[in-house]
Every structure is written in structure tokens, then in C-alpha cells.
Chain A
């Protein structure tokens, strides 16, 4: 049996939803960053699947994925740097403690 495109898309959507759930519920800043990585990986999966099924000659989706991975790494690096800075100043990475700036 050949795998159909829909399965990949469903898996990606599922991953994306897990990411959003984690984003909303996490209190730890690192976990929030990880949830965002999960969302980006859902995107990667989507792109790879589309690239494989719809665009097998130019494989633009795969190129796109490489870029997404690279940028995600940069984003994570910056994010971790900021988390580190905040940990040094505040001794915590708990999101609920970050309340100096009121809505």
C-alpha cells in the first residue's frame, strides 16, 4: 500500500496542534521554545510531503525546509541567549514570574 499525501498532512496538523497546546499551557520558557520548534517541524513535514508528491522535480519544498531548519536554529539560539540573560538577572525562567510589564 502506498502512503497517501493526506496522512502526512494530518500528522503535520496534529504536530502543529500539539505545538500550539504546549505554547499556551507551558510555564517554563524553555518549554515554550520547544513547542515552537514543534510547530516549525510540523511545517517542515508539510513542506516535505508537498515537495514529494506535487513538486518532485524542482523540490522547492525541500529547499524551503533547509532554510526553515537553519532559521529555526538561529531563532532558538537567540531565544536561549535571552532566556540565559533573564535567568542571570532573575534566577528563574518561569513565565508567570515575568510580570514587570503589565498589560
Chain B
């Protein structure tokens, strides 16, 4: 086998988006080396241009070739991975926008922050398409180690140190557990590391064996840690509270989206024969996450901790779509993550702006903010209400679609629990809105009384403003124009062979059980 045929077999074109991001990372590093401190003024825009280039490359791939398997099966650039990679890159773009002024104010180097963030993005992007155990592991660790570094990025801050240490220890432990599961899979599959071959090998184990289930449980530990689903959530509130806010913004969206992509691919491909078992485990995780996340969020006094518990709860909602296991189930996961991207990052952008101007993130300090900063109040209110699923914002449509998919797959209990807990969530989101909007001028908090003059001319504030306005517009309008993104999500599911193989025809039929009258209509649809 000579080099040329090997190179053509690699199908390296699939990872052009990752290549572009890597190149950007190098440009940022070298640019910082050459230009020194002055480079901080233009490096973020280089990063954003590079990330936009990656999105363009992803777009080309979406319309491009059908040959998606690359590197002899180690990476699968199918439509599913393209969509998830797009979400990861988008979240990085917004994170860069909102982080510039924050990093500047914390007195640390911006270019290093950007390079670590880009490294995390690369890890996340590879994780979305990795279909071989070694690749999965490397991608996962690239994402994780970069995240640990970012969490502890403000070296002088004790809380940041502590958050980083906790995150690292829990993260490393969970990846060790995941690896143990992966090593068992390797053995069970008789020496295969590719996910699809592992899936085939596992399905050939006829007698009910305990070993695959043990491997499954170990693997799920690693996944649930990335998704911060209860009971693997303990790190979330601490890390969210302690680490720099832009990092949290990335962790809550980009890292979580990559985790979901990884979960879908791993479970559907490798554990296709254990579908019942992993559905059961994930249903338990979803129930715990929804109840615990929403209930504990009620008692929070810190905005970042509130958002941490809310993100645990949101993970629980998204799991409903994953468990549904139907075409619309997976599509609703994608759509919800897309919606979550904007509303959550918008929320974090507002928290960043508020803490930049006042240096606090206690909820009671937001009292009476509407008088001093209407734009911030409006954006944060809309993002939080959207997270709570209030129409006509995008979160409402995301939730409706998730619950619709769940109900269609006959997950009545989970959907009802989701509905009930989302009422609880409205309560704590509106508490913040009430704090900002309802309070009279004389009830204003000391912090807000001393609120600085709203000015966007400080260095790094313009990008933050762009980020906030972008999130505001997307949160309010994507819901009304929900059809194109949902179509995109559905198309990505339809065009991904691994999902098509797993969507059992039995479930689609079950829905029509009650519908003798409508059977003719069903035939038309099929």
C-alpha cells in the first residue's frame, strides 16, 4: 500500500473545518508571539474569522459528498456531526465575543485564553464525529483538559483555583471510569475499537451477559459527566460559580452539545443491542436531573449557581428527546440545543456584563436594574423567560418539540414530569425578572444605585454588545421562524445512516394504534 492510496483512503477532506480551527489556533499563538501585547486588539477577530470559516466549511460539507467516513473509520463526518459541530463552533464564536472585555478586566492574557478556547473547540468538534474508541478518548480529553485550564484561568482567584481542581479531579475520575468501560468494550468486541463493529459484536452475544451492561454503565458515567446530568452533576454548580463567566458560558453550551453528540453516536452505534437498558438508565438520569435541577435552583441566591442548576434541569429535558429514539426525538434534541445556545449564552452574556459593571452576581443585587440599564434587563428577562419556556420565544418551541417527540414515543411519564418541572422553572426564572423589573426605585439594591453610566466605548465592550444583541434577536425571532432550523435538524437525522438504522420501525407503528379512522392518512405519509 503506497502513500498515495493511503492518503486517498483517509478522506481527510472531512476534517477541513477542524483544520481551519487548528490553523486559527496557530495563527493566534504565533501572532501573539510576534506582535506581543498589542495583538490583543485584533486577535479575537482573527479567531472569529477563523471560526466563521469553519462554519462555511461545514456548510460546504452539508451540501457535499456522501462519503463521510474518514481516517479508516475513526471519524464520521455525517450530517449529524456537521450539525453538532456547527453548534459547538457557534457557541465558541459567541463566547469569544463576550469574553474579550472580561479577560481584559481580569488582567490575564487574552491570546492564551483564546488558544485554549480554540483547543477546546477542536476537541468538541472531533468528539461530535469520533466513531472509534481511541479518537473518542483523545477528543474527549482535548476538550476536558482545555476546559480544566480555562476554569482555572484566573490564577490569582482562589475560587477559580478551587473550581478548577474540583473539575479536574471529578473529570479525570469520570474519564478513567469511561476508559475502563471502553477497555471492556474492546475486549468484548474481540479486539475491535470502531463503534459500529463493536455494535455488531455486542449484538452477537446471545446469552444475557452482564459484561456488556457493566461496560454500558461505565461508559454512561463518562457521558453523564459531560452532560452534567444528575447524579453526575456535583461539579456543575461549583465550577459555574468559581470559574470565569465566559468559560462557564462555553461549558454550558459548547461542551454540553459535544457531549450530546458523543452520547448519541456512542449509544446508538455501539450499544444498539442494549437499547432498552440505556433507555432505562437515561430515563432515570432525566428524572433525577429534572427534579433535582429545578428544585435546587429555587433556593439559589447566586445568579451563576441558578444558571448551573437550570442547566442541569435543561439537560434533563433534552434527555427526553434522546430517550424517545425516534426521528423527531433526535431532531428535537438538535433543535433544542440550537435554541439553548442562544438563550443560555444570552443569559450568560448579561451576567458577564452585569458583573463587569458591578462586580457581583448575587440575584438580590439585580433589584431595580431596569432603571439603569434597560437593554440588559430586557435581554436577560427574555433569555430567562425563554429558558422557562414562555411563548413566543425560542425556548417555548424547543420545549414543545421535545415534549411532542417524547409524547409521540409514548414517554408519558417523562413528558408529564417535564411539564410539571417546567412550571417550577418558570417560578425561579421569573424571580430574577421580578427582581429586575418589578422593584420600585426605592427598593433598588446598593449595587444598582452605584451602577456606572452605560457606556459601550470601553475596549472590548462592543463585541459584548454585539453578542448580547445577537442572542436577543435570535431568542426572540428563531421561535417565530422555527421551521427552517427544525427542517435542518430533521434533515440531519434523515441523512445520518447510523440514526436511520437505529430508529425502530416498531415505534412509528405504535403511534397509529389508536387511529383506525386515520389509517388512510397514515398510508399516504408512509
Contact = CB atoms under 8 A, between A and B. Distances in A.
A29 B176 contact: no
Contacts of B158: 86, 89-90, 100
Contacts of A40: 176, 179
A78 B134 contact: no
Interface string B181-215: 01110110011110000000000000000000000
Contact of A98 (B165, B191, B234): B165
A11 interface: no
A86 B162 contact: yes
Interface of B is mostly: helix
Contacts of A60: 134, 186, 191-193
Nearest to B169: A32
A63 B191 CA distance: 12
A103 interface: yes
Counting from the closest, the 9 A-B pairs by CB-CB distance are A55-B191, A46-B183, A50-B187, A39-B176, A101-B238, A54-B191, A86-B161, A43-B179, A71-B141
Interface in A7-60: 9, 12, 16, 19, 23, 29, 32-33, 36, 39-40, 42-43, 46-47, 49-51, 54-55, 58, 60
B33 interface: no
B149 interface: yes
A68 B137 contact: yes
A88 to B, nearest CB: 8
Contacts, number: 126
A75 B145 contact: yes
Interface residues of B, number: 41
Interface of A is mostly: helix
B141 A82 contact: no
A95 to B, nearest CB: 8
B180 A43 contact: yes
Contacts of B30: none
A16 B161 CA distance: 28
B180 to A, nearest CB: 5
A79 B137 CA distance: 18
B166 interface: yes
B480 to A, nearest CB: 40
8 contacts: A23-B173, A49-B187, A55-B192, A58-B191, A60-B191, A63-B134, A67-B138, A100-B162
